[in-house]
Structures are given as C-alpha cells and as structure tokens.
Chains A and B, each alone.
Chain A
Amino acid sequence: MSNQMHVTGDADALERYVLNRMTANERSQWENHLRECAGCREIVRSELMIVQGVRRAGRDALKQRLRDRLYHSPGDRVGIPWVRIVSIAATIVLLVGIGIYGRWLYLRTPQEAGKSERVSAMAEKQDSPAPAPTSPLPHERAARIQSEEQPSPSSPSLSKNLSSNITRRPLATPAVEAAAPLKGEVAVNSQQLPAADVAGASSKPAATAAVALSTGSWAIAQVLQDETSKAKADAGGIAYSTSSQQLEQKRVSDDRRAFFKSASKKANEPSQMESLSRSDSVMPAVPQLHGGGLRDERKIILSFASRRSEEQSQTESLSLSDTTLPALIRQDSSSIVVTIFIAPSDSVSYAGRQFVHWISEDSLIIHAGVRKLGLRLPRTK
C-alpha cells in the first residue's frame, strides 16, 4: 500500500482491518502504511473506538441479561430460597403423612382385630349347621338328650321315650345326658360379647350333635344379690368411703361369702329342696343364652332356659325359692355347660345380659340381669 492510498479511501478495508478480517499479507501492508501515516492511525483509532464501544454496549447488555437471569430467575426471585422452602414443605408433608398413617394404624388395628375375630367366629358358625330359628321346646331338648343317649339317633319315637326317661330319672343323681354337643363352639368370654352375640351363639349347641357331654347333675343357682334392691339400699344411706375398685372387691368378697354359706347348706341336699309352686304354663319358648369363661382350661358355657312344665317334674324337688334357681350342669373334658332355669316371671332379657363375675375351681358367679347367681361347679375330672 502506497502512501497515496490512505485507509480513509477504502471504508470496507478499514472495517476489515478493525474487525480483523484481513489476510495476513493485507494486514501487514496496512500496518506498514499506518506507521508512516499519522492521520490514517487517527482514523483507524477512531474506527476502533466505535467498534469497541459497540462491543462494550453489547457486552454490557449481555452481562445485564445474565445478571437478570442469575438474580431474578424463578429459583432466585427476590431472594426467596425456593428449593429450601420446597424441602421444608416436603418434610412437613412427610411427617404429617407419617402421623396420619400412624393414627390410621392405631385406629385400624383394634377394629380390624375385632372384625377378624367376628369373621372367624362367623366362619366357624358357617362351618356348623344353621342354628334353629327359635329355641327348641323343652320336650324337643329332651328328645335331643335322648337321641344322644341312644346308639341309634334315627329313631322316630325318641320324644316319647325321652319324656318317660326324664320322669323316671332321680333328681339328686347325675342322670341327665348332655343335650348340647360342643364341637365347634366358639370359645368366647361372655364379658366380651354383647347379649345379641351371646344369644346368637347359644343356638348353636341346639343344632349340632357331634360330641356328647357326660351326664349332668342338678344344682342350685343361688341368687346372691338383687341389684335393684341393693341400689335401693345404697340410695337409703349406705355410704362407701372406699374407691370403686375396693368397693368392687368388697362386693365380690361378700357375694362369695354369701354364696358359699348358702350353697354349702343347700346344694346337693335334695331333702331340703322346696317344691316348685309357681305355675309356668304360660311361659313362652325362651331362647337359650349362654356365655363362657375359662375354668381349668375348660369352657364354661352358660345357658338360660325358662322353667317349663316338662322340667317342672325334674326341678320340683330342688330347693326353689326367691333366692334359688335350678341349674343343670353337664361337662366333658373341654367344657362345662351350665343351664339355669329361670323363673317364669323373670324376663329372659336380663338373663341374656349375663356375664361371668367370678370363676374359681369350684364356683361360678355370674351376672344375670339385675341379679347375681352363684353356682357350685363340679370338681375337675
């Protein structure tokens, strides 16, 4: 490039020079000229200043956009640590979820447990034959007893034979056969079941006939205490200074003391039995009710039956009064069946609410409605 060819004459070449787009040879020529041309150097410097200024503008704008992204991006907007907030929120949700799940488990377990027990009981019920819709009449029960006594249960004239057998049987000796086979019986504690469940389970022995119990014996169920009369007495001014637990212990102790005192005199003493004077001919059929408890690892099965004319002959020689009731006790190796014949004037409903109050080696105290009944149980075989 000659001195006459100043850079100002070629705008495109000037731009290529400042933008570094010249070839090495061309650039070398330009630089040789610029060393000799001060005016050209000023023009080039001015052009470079423009280019650098525009680039600075572009760079500043880009940096500003970068800062905007860094400090005003959704993750950093107004300095709120969203990630940390989300972490804390997730932790809270997790803890609440665990709490809800734990509470659900806590609430579910007893319900499910109860449900599974009921389901199990129902399954066992379904395994056994369907219960009779109503309690069998006394003569039908007697027929069943007779049928279990007989080697051939298919005899059509059992009912008549049984009636004659019962009337011939001495009362003070264990002569009555088992009426209710207990195979498949649900071992429940009567205190855990409502009256309806107890009543429902009570009909099962009447419908099953698989295992015969040993011969039964008549006993006296001693009416220990009438809750209604006691409540009246309490209302009359008897004050207890002890706690409710101590009171309950005292009541149990009193009940046992009264029961043993009475039972020792009357149980198994036919000579002292009173005659049955009440008429129970109008008593309707009563569903059997029973509850159970554990005694010597044997099930205690309670059932209540109304005193019908058929049993009257069996129980008339038993000691009966307002404070005693006849009871039939049968047993085998796994269970003891206690059937208490309630007075016709008593409502079956109160008997249906019975539950075991006390069980010992030789005695049983149950709540029967507003009453408590004490029974001396046969010795373990």
Chain B
Amino acid sequence: MPIHLRFQASDSDIIEMVRHGNEHGLEILYRSCRAPVTAYLKRNGGSDDDADDLLQEAVVVAWEQIRTERFRGESSLQTYIVAVVKNLWFRRLAQRKREKPGLLEPDTIADGELSALELLIEDEQTTAVARVMETLGDPCRTLLLLYYYEERSMKQIAEQMGYANADTVKAKKYQCRKILQRRLEALENRVP
C-alpha cells in the first residue's frame, strides 16, 4: 500500500483552487476525505471499492457546487463530502433494493416518483448523450460542456474560448446542439 502524502491545504485554499479550475484541488479533497469516507462505508456495509467510487463522485459534486457558486461554506469541505457520500450511499442502497424482483410492481411506487424502469430508460438516454458527446470534437464539445456543465454565461464562454461576443457563442452553440441532436438520432436509429 503506497504511503500518500498528506496535504495541509485549508478549505479556502481548496475552494480557491477549484474556482480557478485547478484540478489539483480535487486530488487534495479526495485524499483528505478518504479515511473518514472509507470508515463510514465500512461501518455501513460498504467496501473499499464503494468508498473509492462514491468519494470520486462526491468530490466531483463538490467541484460542481463550488464552480457554480452553490457551495455556501456553511460546513467544512470534509463534512460536506461525507454528507454527499452518505446521500449517494443511501441512493445506491435504494437502487439495489429496487433491482430485486418484485419491487417493480406499480403499486409499490409512490406517486410522482419514477419507476425503476423509467429510471433505467432515463439513465440509458443520458448515457447515450454522454457517449455522443465523446464523439464531438472541439470547439463543440468544450462549448457545450462550458454552457451546460460549467453553467458559464455566453459572455464568459466568449472570453474563455476567444469568440467575438455572446451572440457568436449563442450561434455556435445552436450549431453544436444540432450536431449533437443528429448524432443522437443516428445512434438511436442504429439501436434495434
């Protein structure tokens, strides 16, 4: 088992790094939270692989929250990460329960809640979009990621990608959406 260096960055340092898009902050966050997350999941029936997977996901959630200015800093980053891991773990446990036979009966699903089948279809569709996104080259892929994932404004994307103005970005985004749509339709048509 390799010995990892412990990083002694404060929360404010990490948040500042994430805000500036420095992905080293992700690594620091992951390493600083691994011990408590692993301990929690092992106490609750999880494994090292579960801890690894969920922690990566939680760190990415934290990244997204910080990048979109939704992280309010009411708790420490470690507390926030552990809380996200707990929610993800409860959701994963619930998903595993649903995957058992008999749980797909309509009368067992509350009103307004997606059934396991609907969730499965939705998951497949979003996975298909993500797969098509991988086939998109730049600048479309970067532009769409900045707009939908990073939730940057047209003006910010124009400055970051070197477009003339927000209108130019808007037009370019429209073109990229069309390309994505066509490739997605083509993918759906190939699936029997």
Residues of chain A having any CB pair with chain B under 8 Å:
19, 49-63, 65-67, 69-70, 73, 75-76, 79-84
Contact = CB atoms under 8 A, between A and B. Distances in A.
Given A49-B125, A54-B144, A57-B130, 17 more contacts: A50-B181, A53-B126, A53-B127, A53-B132, A54-B129, A54-B145, A55-B148, A59-B60, A62-B23, A65-B23, A66-B23, A69-B26, A70-B30, A80-B2, A82-B2, A83-B4, A84-B3
30 contacts: A49-B125, A49-B129, A50-B148, A52-B122, A52-B126, A52-B129, A53-B129, A54-B129, A54-B144, A54-B145, A56-B130, A57-B129, A57-B133, A57-B141, A57-B145, A58-B145, A59-B149, A61-B145, A62-B26, A62-B63, A65-B23, A66-B30, A66-B60, A69-B27, A76-B4, A80-B2, A81-B2, A83-B5, A84-B2, A84-B3
A73 B27 CA distance: 10
Contacts of A73: 27
A55 B149 CA distance: 5
Nearest to A86: B3
Contacts of B180: 50
B129 A50 contact: yes
Among B23, B63, B148, find the residue whose CB has the most chain A CB atoms closer than 10 A. Answer: B148
Contact of A66 (B3, B26, B151): B26
Contacts of A59: 60, 64, 149
Contacts of B145: 54, 57-58, 61
B24 interface: yes
How large, as a class, is the contact surface on chain B? 35 or more
Contact of B2 (A56, A61, A83): A83
Contact of A51 (B27, B60, B148): B148
Nearest to B2: A81
B50 interface: no
A54 B133 contact: yes
Contacts of B11: none
Contacts of A84: 2-3
B128 interface: yes
A34 B144 CA distance: 26
A69 B31 CA distance: 11
Contacts of B150: 58
B65 interface: no
B59 interface: yes
A44 to B, nearest CB: 13
B78 interface: no
A288 B26 CA distance: 89
Q: Can you list the 9 inter-chain pairs with the closest CB atoms, starting with the nearest?
A: A53-B129, A58-B149, A57-B133, A57-B130, A81-B2, A54-B148, A56-B130, A53-B126, A83-B3
Contacts of B122: 49, 52
Contacts of B132: 53
A56 B129 contact: yes
B2 A69 contact: no
B165 to A, nearest CB: 17
A53 B180 CA distance: 11
A56 B60 contact: no
Given A53-B129, A55-B148, A67-B56, A81 B3 contact: yes
B134 to A, nearest CB: 7
Contacts of B144: 54
Among A50, A52, A57, A75, find the residue whose CB has the most chain B CB atoms closer than 10 A. Answer: A57
Interface in B52-80: 56-57, 59-60, 63-64
Contacts of B3: 81, 83-84
A56 B4 CA distance: 29
B149 to A, nearest CB: 3
Contacts of B31: 70
B57 A63 contact: yes
Nearest to B151: A19
Contacts of A69: 23-24, 26-27
Nearest to B64: A59
B128 to A, nearest CB: 7
Interface string B28-52: 0011000000000000000000000
Nearest to A58: B149
Given A51-B148, A83-B5, A70 B27 contact: yes
